[in-house]
Amino acid sequence: MRLIINLILIVVVGLLGYLLFFGIKEPIAFGDAKKERLAAVTDRLKQVRFAQEFYRDITGHFANSFDSLKYVLETDSFTLVKIIGNPDDPNAEFTRIETKKSAKDSLAFLYNNPDHKVKIILDSLPFVPYGGGAKFSIQADTLTYQKTLVNVTEVGTQWKIFMGIYADARYQRYDNLYFPENMVKFGDMSGPNLGGNWE
């Protein structure tokens, strides 16, 4: 009888030890995965935002598709304007010189510049890191904001797309602000704002 009781106690202690270990391991694993995956997604969104700003500098508006964004940045050019003349002389004449610079060359220069923090690879821009091939949603339009016509864009993805096994709402018990259906995004279709909601 004593042997049976000892065996039952060993099983119970083992089960409690396992539950305790799992109860500590799961929230730590969730927190680590969330931090790592969010960092990768926000880094890619920063690349897309920078590319959208390049696109706007060339075309005057934002791209509403990744195909259009890639095409313009690979084939089009910036117009650089240089004004020559003495700004301190009210009678001086000014000369305006316009030159074109390839957007693709500019991106390559920035990519190879160690001082530039945002590295853009056009082929990977649409894809959500850890998303299994899923693409970011992208929107762009113009709207009247405070009596002025402005360009707006919004690019993002839902948490559940890149959180893998942690996409379930049950993981909210480890983070009250975690909602798998919510978006990680930059921009806003209701106003001229390029801020990211992770910032």
**Residue 9 forms part of a structural domain:** no
Q: Would 112 be classed as within a structural domain?
A: yes
User: How high is the pLDDT of residue 86?
Assistant: 76
Residue 81 is assigned to a structural domain of this protein? no
Tracing tokens 């000369």 back to the chain, one arrives at 95
Cβ atoms of 107 and 54 closer than 8 Å: yes
- pLDDT score for 199: 75
Q: What is the pLDDT of residues 43-58, one digit of tens each?
A: 999 999 999 998 998 9
The pLDDT of residue 102 is 77
Q: Could you tell me the residue range of the domain that residue 169 belongs to?
A: 38-76+103-187
Count of domains in the chain? 1
Q: Per the domain annotation, does 85 fall within a domain?
A: no
CA dihedral 95, 101, 107, 113 (to 10 degrees): -60
* CA angle, residues 61, 67, 71, in degrees to nearest 5: 75
- Residue 54, domain member (yes or no): yes
Q: Which residue positions in the chain have pLDDT lower than 50?
A: none
User: So what's the pLDDT on residue 14?
Assistant: 59
46 in any annotated domain = yes
pLDDT at 24: 66
130: left (phi over 0), alpha (psi -120 to 50) or beta: left
**2 inside domain:** no
Hunting for tokens 């075309």 — which residue is that?
Answer: 59
pTM (two decimals): 0.79
Whether residue 47 is contained in a domain is answered as yes
